[in-house]
Amino acid sequence: MNTHELIDELIKMGISILLGGVLGLEREYQNKPAGFRTLALICIGATAFTILSIRLSGDGMAHDRIAANIITGIGFIGAGVIFKSGVNVYGLTTAATIWVTAGIGMAVGAGDYLLASVITGVTLLILSLFEYLQNKVDVLHKRRLYFITFDGHVFDTRIENEMRKCKLKYKKLKEKRANNETTCSYEVFGRESHLDIFNEFLLETPDIKQFEY
C-alpha cells in the first residue's frame, strides 16, 4: 500500500466516524439504546469491511460477498435493540437507523462521499421532522391498552357503550373473572381529548374499582 492509498483510507475512516457520529448524537439526544459510540462504530466498521472487500477483490474474491455479510451482521445488531412490551413494540426506528448507518459506512468505503452525505442528511431529516409530524398524529390518533376492573360480570357493556359515545375505537383483548370481580383489557384508539373524557368516566363511576393504561 502506498502513501496515497493510506491517506485515502484514513480520510474514509474519518468521514465514516463523522457521519455515524452525527446520527448517533441524534439518537443519544432522544435517549435511544444505540447512541453516539454505537453508530460511529457501526459506520466505521462497515467502511472498513467495504475497503477490505474492494482490496480482496483484486485477489480474485468477489467483493460483493463481504458486502452481503455486512448486511446480515447488521441485522443481528438491529434485532438486539427491538423489544416487545405487551402489545407495544419498541426500537424499530433505532434498528432502522443502525441499518441505514451501515449503508452510509459502505458508501464511504466505496468512495461515494456524496451519496453517504445525502443519506445522512435525509436520515436526520426523517428522524427529526418526521418525529414532529408523528407527535402531531399521535395527538389525533393515540393508542392505549386499558385494564379495567369492576364489580359483577355485565358492566363491560356499559364501558363499551361509553367508548363508542366518546368516539373511540376499541378491541376487547381479554376478560378475567374472580371473586365477583371482572377485569377486562381493551386496546383503544382515538383522539387524546376523547381518551381523557373516557378516563373521567372511569374515575367517576363507582362500580369501577380500578383501571390502568
Give the bridge partners for 88, in sequence order: 85
What is the arithmetic mean of pLDDT over 103-129? 94
Give the separation between CA 173 and CA 160, rounded to whole angstroms: 13
Closest CA to 46 of 24, 22, 68: 68
Give the separation between CA 146 and CA 119, rounded to whole angstroms: 40
Higher per-residue confidence, 140 vs 60: 140
Q: What is the structure's pLDDT at 60?
A: 55
Give the separation between CA 55 and CA 61, rounded to whole angstroms: 9
Ordered by start, the domain boundaries in the chain are: 3-139, 141-212
Closest CA to 28 of 94, 120, 123: 94
**DSSP category for residue 82:** -
Q: Which CATH number fits domain 141-212: 1.10.10.60, 3.30.70.260, 3.90.600.10, 2.60.40.1120?
A: 3.30.70.260
Could you read off the pLDDT of 38-48 as tens digits, one per residue?
Answer: 999 999 999 99
The torsion angles phi and psi of 184, rounded to 5 degrees, stand at: -115, 140
CA 31 to chain centre: 12
pTM of the model: 0.67
Residue with cell 453508530: 39
Q: How confident is the model at residue 83 (pLDDT cuts 50, 70, 90)?
A: confident
Could you read off the pLDDT of 25-79 as tens digits, one per residue?
Answer: 988 888 887 789 999 999 999 999 999 888 877 655 566 677 778 888 888 888 8
